[in-house]
Amino acid sequence: MQNGIQGFLEGRYIDLSEHIQTDLHIELLKRTPSAYLGSCRFKLPEIEDNEDMYKKIFKMLSNLDIGYFFYIGGNDSMDTIKQLSTYGKMINSSIRFMGVPKTIDNDLAETDHTPGYGSAAKFIATATKELIRDAKVYGNENIHVVEVMGRNAGWLTASSALSRGEDCVGPDLIYLPEVPFDIDSFLAKVEETRWVKKSIVIAVSEGIKLKDGRYVCELISSQAQFKDSFGHMTLGGTAQYLANTITQNFGCKARAVDLSILQRCSSHMVSRVDITEAFVAGGHAVEAAFRGETGKMIIFNRVTNNPYQCTTMPYDIDKIANIEKKVPLEWLTNDNTYVSPEFLSYARPLIQAELSPIMVDGLPSHLYN
Amino acid sequence: MQNGIQGFLEGRYIDLSEHIQTDLHIELLKRTPSAYLGSCRFKLPEIEDNEDMYKKIFKMLSNLDIGYFFYIGGNDSMDTIKQLSTYGKMINSSIRFMGVPKTIDNDLAETDHTPGYGSAAKFIATATKELIRDAKVYGNENIHVVEVMGRNAGWLTASSALSRGEDCVGPDLIYLPEVPFDIDSFLAKVEETRWVKKSIVIAVSEGIKLKDGRYVCELISSQAQFKDSFGHMTLGGTAQYLANTITQNFGCKARAVDLSILQRCSSHMVSRVDITEAFVAGGHAVEAAFRGETGKMIIFNRVTNNPYQCTTMPYDIDKIANIEKKVPLEWLTNDNTYVSPEFLSYARPLIQAELSPIMVDGLPSHLYN
């Protein structure tokens, strides 16, 4: 399917074997940013609200002689698998529906982590490390507020802490959406840090919210508000708002850095552990479907952190879809302005090892469609 | 000197041989973002305005038994070399003053290019290529405006065009500060592109200016204006302003992506040609100073594009300092909304080959001070 179930409904699907004919194509695919098949923001209606749409989909699947249906993605995609497998069971369809986890958000329930997260975390930690170094270049007082993706779960923002090591102090403060954000406490914490450090780097989730439930970025008067078909509001400007607030309160230089789309598409800097696991999850989904499983998603179970070992297994989609897994509150420390060693032990294995880009004429090469 | 001449005046200088003791340290230094010795935004006064400062500097140099003075940087740094070598000649000092070019801006006169540019260009082209791919993921209509550094010279923004190749169409429109920016022509060009393409990526220099000389980012009412000691205004928000303008005019989704500080500190993705040349320029400066040269900067002369060959030579600093080299207007095409094949032939050799990061525990390792 191109652009997921939305493209399928429009009759847009391809035979992937025509696109991926050699092992080199597979290697390029592993290094190609974004989703080769495209994505969508289309939410299937409840079955009782629009059974006709389900009838249409199953008619199309039957016409194409589809026996196995795999859907790769995050929470929204798993909702699609849930609905389709539920309808499949209702009509006694023999089609097997399997979810394959893949989201940088790492917010799927029941699974230890999601493929995609490790690579994004590796890029975020790398960029944070480089930014921290750059911020010291003039030896002056300055504050950088780095905005990281994450609407309700702070996994990506937390990964900025991985930059801490023998050659980097890491970010000074980290704010996740798991706990209510308070502007006054934030400013007090910044002031406290200013007493001991000249160059301060703060990582914040785009989705941090006030006690009353409003996003911090909603405080920006000019902020245009868009919602997608899943009802998600477009977020943005959180770091800029906080940087402005710091300047207004302390008169010192504060700059916002939005890692923006780069954090989800920087395929030139990926984790080999992550890319390998993405393929393992896909492979296991195929194996499980052939064995007769349906209405499941492949989850990861961690055996040990060190050495890192994970196993995979299919798991009931009803217990996964529409549930967001957040960073456990016990992994937040220091007045909820940092993450614990437990988080670092959890995340560190996921960013290990590299998958070097295939460079052509000075730039990473991608699989082109 | 730490933080350049400013730190020197404050008595902050180090013995580099204590920091860099092994070949591995040199390899880490090549991969360390920002400037290991720090930088400054301090402009030396005119000699006649404050001869005392020059007397102080030369007294300090004499006390430290300094025979050779090397200053690494861009236009502002070369101004410092110019002033110091001029004063040195006035007082018949035997100290040799040499400039070593290093700026991502590529805007130094007389030299074919500057070390630093190739690596930044490689990152910008890579990020642009990944963004273009990401922008197509939903198959919907969308416009991304990518903001690239460049106050008066468009070298960095132009490098986004290097992303064009057999697996990428490249950005659709490119706006450099070399030509006045006109909002109406811009919107007309965007509309024209919308007829033929769903997903549009536009690269703009942060420093694009209107016909009347105002920066486009000055049109943002809330924009706070800071100036540094060289009189440079803090720029920012150009892409956001243009994205908002597009949305207001066409009602379509437009998003700003600011490559921000990442474009100057992403040392995990550098050009080996560039890093090698940076060392060649430094080495040649030392050799020339030992030979007795002073008041010069090392410049690059291009012999051929293909195969790429450059030679270096010392060049009179008075003909370099305080002159900004801009992108030649004949390298702009298509109503000044793209760059020519000549630009690509010029820039492509500079982004070639990689210098792999030294990875430790999943992240690039830096030389720590």
Which residue carries 């890093």 as its tokens?
A: B275
pLDDT attached to residue B324: 96
Q: Report pLDDT digits (tens) over A322-342.
A: 999 999 999 999 999 999 999
Beta-carbon separation of B361 and A367 below 8 A = no
Contacts of B302 (CB under 8 A, 6+ apart): B112, B308, B309, B310, B346
SS3 call for B76: helix
pLDDT attached to residue A224: 47
Beta-carbon separation of B33 and A257 below 8 A = no
pLDDT attached to residue B161: 98
What residues of chain B lie within 8 A of the CB of A122, using their CB?
362-363
Nearest CB among B133, B348, B367 relative to A33 is that of B133
Closest CA relative to residue A84, chosen from A108, A51, A125, A41: A51
Closest CA relative to residue A95, chosen from A104, A105, A103, A85: A85
Closest residue of chain B to A240, computed from CA coordinates:
B237
pLDDT attached to residue B235: 75
Rounded CA-CA distance A99/A84 in Å is 11
pLDDT attached to residue B145: 98
Beta-carbon separation of A33 and B352 below 8 A = no
pLDDT attached to residue B236: 80
pLDDT attached to residue B99: 98
Beta-carbon separation of A168 and B368 below 8 A = yes
pLDDT attached to residue A369: 72
Residue A105 known to be catalytic? yes
Chain B nearest C-alpha distance from A6 (Å): 10
Rounded CA-CA distance B19/B11 in Å is 18
Which residue carries 């917010």 as its tokens?
A: A107
Catalytic residue among A105, A107, A172, A258: A105
What residues of chain B lie within 8 A of the CB of A222, using their CB?
222
Rounded CA-CA distance A353/A270 in Å is 8
Beta-carbon separation of B362 and A368 below 8 A = no
Beta-carbon separation of B133 and A34 below 8 A = yes
Closest residue of chain A to B267, computed from CA coordinates:
A130
pLDDT attached to residue B20: 94
How many CB atoms neighbour CB A118 within 10 A? 30
For B50-59, the CB contacts below 8 A with 24+ separation are B53/B9, B54/B83, B54/B84, B54/B87, B56/B9, B57/B5, B57/B8, B57/B9, B57/B84, B58/B87, B58/B88, B58/B91, B58/B93, B58/B95
Catalytic residue among B76, B79, B105, B172: B105
Of the residues A117, A169, A363, the best mutation for testing chain B's interface (the one with the most B CB atoms within 10 Å of its CB) is A363
A259 CB burial (10 A radius; 0-12, 13-18, 19+): buried
Q: How much is the ipTM here?
A: 0.96
- Is the CB of residue A144 less than 8 Å from the CB of residue A257? yes
Report CA-CA distances (Å) from A10 to A4, B134, B199, B201: 10, 22, 19, 26
Along the 369 residues of chain B, how does pLDDT read in single tens digits?
999 999 999 999 999 999 999 999 999 999 999 999 999 999 999 999 999 999 999 999 999 999 999 999 999 999 999 999 999 999 999 999 999 999 999 999 999 999 999 999 999 999 999 999 999 999 999 999 999 999 999 999 999 999 999 999 999 999 999 999 999 999 999 999 999 999 999 999 999 999 999 999 988 865 444 555 566 666 788 999 999 999 999 999 999 999 999 999 999 999 999 999 999 999 999 999 999 999 999 999 999 999 999 999 999 999 999 999 999 999 999 999 999 999 999 999 999 999 999 999 999 999 987
What residues of chain A lie within 8 A of the CB of B166, using their CB?
368
What residues of chain A lie within 8 A of the CB of B260, using their CB?
257-258
- At A344, the amino acid letter reads L
pLDDT attached to residue B275: 98
Contacts of B178 (CB under 8 A, 6+ apart): B153, B154, B326, B327, B329, B332
pLDDT attached to residue B220: 82
Of the residues B262, B263, B352, the best mutation for testing chain A's interface (the one with the most A CB atoms within 10 Å of its CB) is B262
What residues of chain B lie within 8 A of the CB of A131, using their CB?
261-262, 265
For B10-13, the CB contacts below 8 A with 24+ separation are B11/B60, B13/B64
How many CB atoms neighbour CB B28 within 10 A? 20
Rounded CA-CA distance B346/B30 in Å is 24
Chain B nearest C-alpha distance from A105 (Å): 16
Rounded CA-CA distance B246/A205 in Å is 27
Beta-carbon separation of A131 and B162 below 8 A = no
Rounded CA-CA distance B158/A72 in Å is 36
- Is the CB of residue B87 less than 8 Å from the CB of residue B55? no
The two structure tokens encoding residue B369: 């001070």
Rounded CA-CA distance A268/A70 in Å is 27
What residues of chain B lie within 8 A of the CB of A130, using their CB?
33-34, 262, 265-268, 364
Rounded CA-CA distance B316/B99 in Å is 10
Helical residues (DSSP H) of chain B, grouped into ranges: 4-9, 16-19, 23-30, 51-63, 75-90, 117-135, 155-158, 183-196, 238-250, 262-265, 272-291, 341-347
pLDDT attached to residue B229: 59
Phi/psi region, residue A329 (left: phi>0; alpha: psi -120 to 50; beta: rest), is: alpha
Rounded CA-CA distance B265/B276 in Å is 17
DSSP state of B112: S
Chain A nearest C-alpha distance from B110 (Å): 26
* Interior angle at CA B232, CA B231 and CA B234, nearest 5: 135
Distance linking the first and last C-alpha atoms of chain A:
14
Low-confidence ranges of chain A (pLDDT < 50): 223-225
Beta-carbon separation of B125 and A362 below 8 A = yes
Rounded CA-CA distance B97/A146 in Å is 39
B259 CB burial (10 A radius; 0-12, 13-18, 19+): buried
- Is the CB of residue B332 less than 8 Å from the CB of residue B340? yes
Q: Report pLDDT digits (tens) over B215-234.
A: 999 888 654 445 555 666 66
